[in-house]
């Protein structure tokens, strides 16, 4: 029988909100998840890999391979975001070590191989610094023939950055990589802080999950407790506001789930790599350079619909 599910690679740096996103994708049953490709990001590559394996174990999906990728950005020293995710990247949840092991091969070469082998172009959901995808483009400059789009949680256009005044973490963590991907010819769906800031998870949004006893709901509730404890805190105000918390990657995953929840604009987009604005996404809304639009910029969202669906799928999908 024909498999109508969308072939998908998730490039990730798990991460509390990465886990909340990956569980959603798996719960929905709508995607043929070819691999998790792991990058440096919220914490170091080794930790992120352990976390990816842990969450596949909790979801009962040992069949999905986990490939390790870049330990560091292409040209710069690594930055990280323990302040937002805890020292283990999972909200200091002290989860047991996974039994699963990463699969053989580097994430970048596996992205190329998987994309080429797929009967239909693959979608890449990129919810961490985008180094692995950029390396895949460098390995196969024609990757655009095999990838229909990269949905990227990155960028800050009409809102401030969350790591520098103008940049979001996933872009400033490797601006050169982001520039390579934006210039690769692969359509980029930019679901950045303009959207994430419209996603407020209130404590009540987790009530239904707390009523369901499964390894996944327990996993999420445990991690989210870390964020809920930060509410109103100054140190982590980009992830915990006065009455709600952010799960930024869930915003990008919402586009994968249902683009109809979003308002978008097709624009020419690029990434600044120099000076103190390195990591800024530069969108040419007036198309001053008269180029073919390469970025689908998400500017508005029905976040209530998305959060409702997220909760429903997680409560019923495992």
CB 44 within 8 A of CB 128: no
Residues of the shown chain interacting with Ca ion in the complex, contacts defined by CB under 5 A: 13, 15, 18, 127-128, 249
128 near ligand RIB, judged by CB under 6 A: yes
What are the tokens at 268?
């020419």
Q: Which is nearer to Ca ion, 124 or 268 (CB)?
A: 124
How many positions of this chain bind ligand RIB (CB under 6 A)? 16
CA nearest 21: which of 248, 178, 228? 248
Q: How far is the CB of 305 from ligand RIB (least distance, A)?
A: 22
Q: How far is the CB of 18 from Ca ion (least distance, A)?
A: 4
Q: Which is nearer to ligand RIB, 249 or 270 (CB)?
A: 249
d(CA 51, CA 18): 10
For residue 11, the partner it binds in Ca ion, ligand RIB, none, with Cβ less than 5 to 8 A by kind, is none
- Residues 238-257, interacting with ligand RIB (CB under 6 A): 248-249
Residue environment code for 183-201, b if the CB has 16+ CB neighbours within 10 A, otherwise e:
ebebbbbbbbbbbbbbbbb
Q: Which is nearer to ligand RIB, 84 or 177 (CB)?
A: 84
13 near ligand RIB, judged by CB under 6 A: yes
Phi, psi of 110 (to 5 degrees): -65, -35
203 to 83, 164, 312: CA distances (angstroms): 20, 28, 16
Centre a 10 Å sphere on the Cβ of residue 117 and count the other Cβ atoms it contains.
11
Q: Which is nearer to ligand RIB, 146 or 199 (CB)?
A: 199
89 near ligand RIB, judged by CB under 6 A: no
For residue 280, the partner it binds in Ca ion, ligand RIB, none, with Cβ less than 5 to 8 A by kind, is none
For residue 84, the partner it binds in Ca ion, ligand RIB, none, with Cβ less than 5 to 8 A by kind, is ligand RIB
Q: Which is nearer to Ca ion, 59 or 268 (CB)?
A: 59
Q: Segment contacting ligand RIB (CB under 6 A): 14-22, 44-52, 182-190, 272-280?
A: 14-22
Strand partners, 7: 32
CA nearest 51: which of 79, 91, 83, 80? 91
Phi, psi of 35 (to 5 degrees): -170, 155
CB 191 within 8 A of CB 252: yes
The footprint of ligand RIB (CB under 6 A) covers 13, 15, 17-18, 41-42, 81, 84, 127-128, 153, 162, 169-170, 248-249
């Amino acid at each position: 029988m024909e498999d109508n599910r969308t072939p998908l690679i998730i490039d990730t740096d798990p991460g509390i909100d990465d886990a909340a996103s990956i569980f959603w994708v798996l719960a929905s049953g709508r995607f043929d998840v070819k691999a998790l490709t792991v990058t440096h990001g919220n914490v170091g590559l080794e930790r992120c890999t352990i976390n990816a394996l842990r969450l596949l174990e909790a979801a009962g999906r040992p069949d999905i391979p986990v490939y390790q990728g870049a330990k560091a950005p292409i040209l710069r020293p690594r930055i990280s975001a323990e302040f937002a995710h805890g020292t283990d990247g999972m909200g200091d949840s002290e989860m047991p070590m996974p039994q699963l092991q990463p699969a053989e091969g580097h994430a970048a070469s596996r992205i190329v191989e998987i994309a080429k082998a797929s009967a239909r172009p693959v979608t890449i959901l990129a919810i961490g610094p985008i180094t692995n995808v950029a390396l895949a483009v460098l390995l196969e400059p024609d990757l655009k023939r095999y990838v229909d789009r990269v949905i990227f949680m990155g960028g800050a256009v009409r809102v401030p950055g969350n790591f520098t005044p103008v940049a979001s973490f996933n872009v400033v963590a490797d601006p050169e990589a982001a520039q390579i991907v934006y210039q690769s010819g692969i359509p980029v769906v930019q679901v950045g802080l303009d959207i994430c800031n419209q996603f407020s998870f209130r404590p009540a949004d987790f009530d239904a999950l707390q009523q369901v006893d499964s390894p996944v709901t327990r996993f999420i509730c445990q991690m989210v407790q870390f964020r809920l404890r930060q509410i109103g805190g100054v140190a982590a105000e980009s992830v915990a506001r006065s009455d709600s918390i952010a799960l930024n990657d869930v915003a990008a995953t919402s586009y994968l789930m249902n683009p109809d929840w979003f308002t978008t604009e097709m624009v020419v987009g690029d990434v600044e790599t120099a000076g103190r604005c390195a990591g800024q996404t530069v969108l040419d809304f007036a198309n001053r350079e008269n180029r073919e639009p390469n970025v689908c910029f998400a500017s508005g969202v029905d976040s209530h619909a998305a959060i409702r669906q997220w909760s429903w799928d997680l409560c019923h999908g495992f």
